[in-house]
């Protein structure tokens, strides 16, 4: 059994925006996310379940207004679903264990880094600084975090 779960107690502590994004598949306004400009080394985890999602070394400035990543830190923690809302066909990205809406993935990322852009809402993420990863139980991912 996974140690990462969708915990109703954690959901109850979320802000209105965090709850709307993760539980109701909302989208924060472009350019407003707290983690958009973060350049510190560490990992980004699901704000609901804590499952590791993205490494800072895979984050890049895409200019889209949301944190962008070239790949997940562990693909088993990302679920991709077809999203047909708003008259478009897109690929929604959700956390596997927390079932949190994270954002979408698009095929317009850096070609030399796999060509994908994971466009993720800051409201769905919690950042864990490299210096805190071991203490918070994410030490297994330290080798995936590089100095920025």
Q: What DSSP assignment string belongs to 55-115?
A: EGGGEE--SSSS-EESS-SSGGGEEEEEE-GGG--EEEEEETTT--EEEEEES-S-GGGTS
pLDDT at 101: 97
More confident residue, 114 or 2: 114
Domain ranges of the chain: 8-138
pTM of the model: 0.94
Q: Calculate the average pLDDT of the chain.
A: 94
> Is the distance from CB of 125 to CB of 40 less than 8 angstroms?
no
pLDDT tens, position by position, 50-63: 999 999 999 999 99
Architecture of domain 8-138: Beta Complex (2.170)
- What are 67-120's pLDDT values in tens digits? 999 999 999 999 999 888 878 888 999 999 999 999 999 999 999 999 999 999
- How large is the average pLDDT for residues 26-53? 96
Which of 21, 53, 105, 119 is flagged as catalytic?
119
119 is catalytic: yes
């Amino acid at each position: 059994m996974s140690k990462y779960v969708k915990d109703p107690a954690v959901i109850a502590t979320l802000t209105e925006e965090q709850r709307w994004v993760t539980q109701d598949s909302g989208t924060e306004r472009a350019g407003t996310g707290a983690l958009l400009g973060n350049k510190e080394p560490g990992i980004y985890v699901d704000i609901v379940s804590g499952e590791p999602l993205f490494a800072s070394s895979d984050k890049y400035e895409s200019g889209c207004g949301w944190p962008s990543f070239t790949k997940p830190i562990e693909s088993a923690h990302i679920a991709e679903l077809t999203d047909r809302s708003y008259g478009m066909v897109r690929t929604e990205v959700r956390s596997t264990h927390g079932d949190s809406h994270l954002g979408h993935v698009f095929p317009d990322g850096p070609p030399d880094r796999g060509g994908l852009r994971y466009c993720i809402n800051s409201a769905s993420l919690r950042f864990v600084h490299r210096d805190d990863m071991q203490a918070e139980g994410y030490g297994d991912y330290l080798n995936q975090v590089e100095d920025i």
